[in-house]
Each structure stands twice: as C-alpha cells, then as structure tokens.
Amino acid sequence: MSKITVAQSAGFCFGVKRAIEMAYQQIENNEKTYSYGPLIHNKEVTGDLEKKGLTIIESLDNIFEGAILVRSHGIGKALYDALEEKGLPVVDGTCPFVKKIHSIVKENHDANKGIIIAGSSQHPEVVGINGWCENAAKIIETPEEASALDLQDGAEYIIVVQTTFRQSRFDEIVAELKKKKIHLLVFNTICSATEKRQAEAVSLSQNVDKMIVIGDKKSSNTQKLVEICRKNCENTVHIETICDLVLNNFSKNDKIGITAGASTPPAIIKEVVVTMSEAFDNAVQNLGGSEEISF
Ligand code: F3S
C-alpha cells in the first residue's frame, strides 16, 4: 500500500523551540522586546510574533529601552558588551549548543591558537562565533577552501563547525586540513539534532518515490535537507507551506517521505501531511516525532 512517512526529526529543534517560547513569554508579560534579527527563518512565526508586539531590529543605534532577545544563532562578544553599556536587559535565546562553541572559541583564542570555522561566513551563527575571537577566524565552506588556506607551519589551530553543517563535508574539510603541517584540534560541533535530521533524510529519501521538504527558502538547514534528499530521490520538492505544493505532481501509488527544517512550525508540517493523506487517501506513518504533528 502507498503511504506517507513523516521523519521523526521533522521541524523545530530544541534550541529554536526554546527561543520561540522565550519570545512568547516576553510578549505575554507585556515587556517591550526587540529581537536582534528575525528569530527564525520562518515568515509565519516571525509575522505572528511581530503582530503580537515583538520588534525586529538589525542595529542597536536607536534603542534606549526595552529588552533585547538574542535568537538561537547567538551573537558575538562585542554585542553583549554594547548591550551592557546601554543598560539594556538581555533575554538570551542563544541555543546552549551554540554557547558551547562560543566558549571553545574564546578559550582557544585567548590561548593564542588560530581559529578555523567550517560554515557560511554570512550565516548569523558563524558571524556570532567569529565574534568570540575578535573576528579573527578563518572561515571556510569547502575542502578546496581548506586546502587553499594559508596556515603557519607548526602552529596550533582549532576547527569548530556551524551546528547545521553537513557531516560529510566537514569530514572532507578536516581531512584536507590534516594534510597541512599544523597541530589541529577538531571540535565537531555539528548539532546532534541536525545530524539526526540529516541521517533520517538520507534513509527516508532512499526509500520513497517522492520527497517533500518543508521549510523557509532562506533556512540553510532546510536547504541542506533538500540537497541531501535530491541526491537520493530526484523527485524532491522544497515547499514553504502547503500553498506551494502542486498536488498534481503526486499520485495515489506514490510512496511519499516528508521532512522539515529546524525552523518549520509543527502546524505547517501537519497541514501538509493531512492534505496529502486526504487527497490520496494514504496511510500516514509518523516515525515518532513531535506530539504536535501526530495524527
Ligand atoms: Fe541548537 Fe541544534 Fe537547534 S544547535 S538551535 S538545537 S539545530
């Protein structure tokens, strides 16, 4: 029988859920709160929070009162210092796993070791991490960039990695760096939630006819899921909400897999699953994920 299988790890991770709960708590308490950058890459959630009173800012320049919510991506040390100087209270939604990277980077930078970050230099999490070594990190995304890095022979370096980075690519980067004449300490800081989500995406996409990946187009971890699924299943579609789904591209006999990025709310996942199952009269197998998306 054809069926729809929903990945256990689809949707909100612990860190994102925690930051969102903090935001709603602040609003409920009627505290004027600013979010330093959009809380997550999801228009539905950020739109709802803005409607309820959370204001997104990109700079502290004109902010003299109210609390500042730090999103799960975290921020650099200079920003904490600026907040303290302004006397603005901080509601710290930095994911504890990201905080851990900050302390690794700070400690090793203070010990005069060179810092290498595997990740996207534009990603707010990487920008924040770099802010714990005075923006002195070498940031690379590919094995080719790792190979081209100009590092000092005999010197000590550490490498940390963006929590949502692809494990296989990180392994290739580390392998390249190990060919150099440096002392390298490797901190695999890829989040287990990400690893699990990506591993599930691999096995699910290998066993279905069609894959649906749900998540904001700007969400890097969603994009990585799409990349992974496309490798195994050429019929992979990336949608933000049910509105993007072309039902005609699916048929009753398809085996369909569904997963979603870390910033995709349960309600959006549920809507897709329920619509698909009603349209094709398919049985749904939930691999045991969030209760909010159980059927
Ligand atoms: Fe934290 Fe991992 Fe999510 S680092 S924000 S729990 S993907």
**Domain chopping of the chain, boundaries:** 3-12+192-293, 14-94, 97-186
Length of the chain: 295
Complex ipTM > 0.95: yes
Report residue 199 as tokens: 């591993």
Q: 176-220, pLDDT tens digit by residue? A: 999 999 999 999 999 999 889 999 999 999 999 999 999 999 888
Fold for 14-94, please state it: Rossmann fold (3.40.50)
Domain 97-186 = CATH 3.40.1010.20: yes
The share of the chain scoring above pLDDT 90, in percent, equals 77
Ligand 1 pocket, residues with Cβ under 6 angstroms: 13-16, 72, 95, 97-98, 163-164, 191, 193-194, 262
Q: What is residue 71's DSSP assignment?
A: P
The average pLDDT across 157-184 equals 96
pLDDT tier at 295, thresholds 50, 70, 90: very low
Same topology for domains 3-12+192-293 and 97-186, yes or no?
yes
CATH of the domain spanning 3-12+192-293, picked from 3.30.1280.10, 3.40.50.10680, 3.40.1010.20, 3.30.70.1110: 3.40.1010.20
Report CA-CA distances (Å) from 245 to 94, 98, 142, 171, 221. Answer: 33, 33, 32, 35, 20
Atom nearest to 192 CA in ligand 1: 2
Full strand arrangement of the beta sheet holding 210-214: 236-239, 210-214, 256-260, 3-6, 283-286
Per-position b or e across 94-125, b if 16+ CB within 10 A of its CB: bbebbeebbebbbebbeeebbbbbbbbeebbb
Q: Pocket of ligand 1, candidates 13, 165, 198: which has the most ligand atoms within 8 Å of its Cβ, to mutate?
A: 13
Tell me the whole-structure pTM to 2 decimals.
Answer: 0.83
> For residue 288, is pLDDT > 80?
no
Which residues belong to the annotated binding site for isopentenyl diphosphate?
41, 73, 123, 219-221, 263
